[in-house]
Amino acid sequence: MRRPIIAGNWKMFKTIAETRQFFDALIPALQDVEHCDIVVAPPFTALAAAAEEAEGTRVSISAQDVYWEPQGAFTGEIAVRMLVDAGCAFTIIGHSERRQYFGETDQTVEKKTRAALKGGLDAIVCVGESLEERDGGSAAPVVRRQVQNGLGAFSEAELSHVAIAYEPVWAIGTGRTATPEIAESMHAEIRKTVAEIYGNSAAVAIRILYGGSVKPDNIKSLMDCENIDGALVGGASLEAASFASIIKYR
């Protein structure tokens, strides 16, 4: 009953010209795809071009980050209304690379998510434990805390515009995918946490994506899991053919 989402996070890759080339290759490959929502998250400079290329197609455009203030003296930041103006329907928030390298916290995730939802963007909110946390046995409490602190204080209507991406840090860009069993068990834990905060119907409805070295050859086994509703794909989303084959996992 939950509609799957396959989202590509391009990180700091692709110019405007490369973005246009990507869409020229991707769109014809998606002719018969109806089973899932498709999202592409280019860097800020390529958002408007991507939105132009995706117009009238099944692909929605996402930013990779956003700031919570509506405007002002915040050099280097970008506001929700600017992203909407550029053609975005989504933004990623709390990616582990933002948490690791740029000081993102559960509190800033909460503020960004609130601003995004208020301004009309859907949010893909990332959570996930580090290798040390997994090896130390605290993966589930860490992820529960990220969900509780980052997403614990919204209305059910607001939450319906949020998808959660479970991205174990040790699996991102490493080629080491979580096994379907590990991913499924954390997705179930996340859904349970959402149920504790918002009740059963919100928990059943929320889409939880897996991210971490998703590739054409492992997407199907992940998508076969009951609580995995899609994927957030980094490296393998940069090439139209591999992203299209992930989208066509069925």
**Residues engaged in binding ligand PEP (CB under 6 A):** 9, 11, 167, 172-173, 211-214, 232-236
Burial class of residue 107 in the structure, from the number of CB atoms within 10 Å of its CB (0-12 exposed, 13-18 middle, 19+ buried): exposed
- Which single residue brings its beta carbon nearest to ligand PEP? 234
To ligand PEP, the closest distance from the beta carbon of 130 in angstroms equals: 14
To ligand PEP, the closest distance from the beta carbon of 213 in angstroms equals: 4
Q: Which is nearer to ligand PEP, 45 or 174 (CB)?
A: 174
For residues 137-166, b (16+ Cβ closer than 10 Å) or e, as one string? eebbebbbebbeebbbebeeebbeebbbbb
Q: Which is nearer to ligand PEP, 19 or 218 (CB)?
A: 218
Q: Which is nearer to ligand PEP, 11 or 144 (CB)?
A: 11
Among all residues, which ones are annotated catalytic? 95, 167
Q: Which is nearer to ligand PEP, 171 or 202 (CB)?
A: 171
Q: Which is nearer to ligand PEP, 12 or 157 (CB)?
A: 12
Token pair belonging to 119: 């301004």
Phi/psi of residue 20, nearest 5 degrees:
-65, -40
Radius of gyration of the chain (CA): 17
Q: Rounded CA gap, 140 and 103, in Å?
A: 22
For residues 20-47, b (16+ Cβ closer than 10 Å) or e, as one string? eebbeebbeebeeeeebbbbbbbbeebb
To ligand PEP, the closest distance from the beta carbon of 11 in angstroms equals: 6
To ligand PEP, the closest distance from the beta carbon of 237 in angstroms equals: 7
Q: Rounded CA gap, 52 and 55, in Å?
A: 5
Length of the chain: 250
Segments in 30-105 forming alpha helices (H)? 47-54, 80-85, 96-101
To ligand PEP, the closest distance from the beta carbon of 42 in angstroms equals: 13
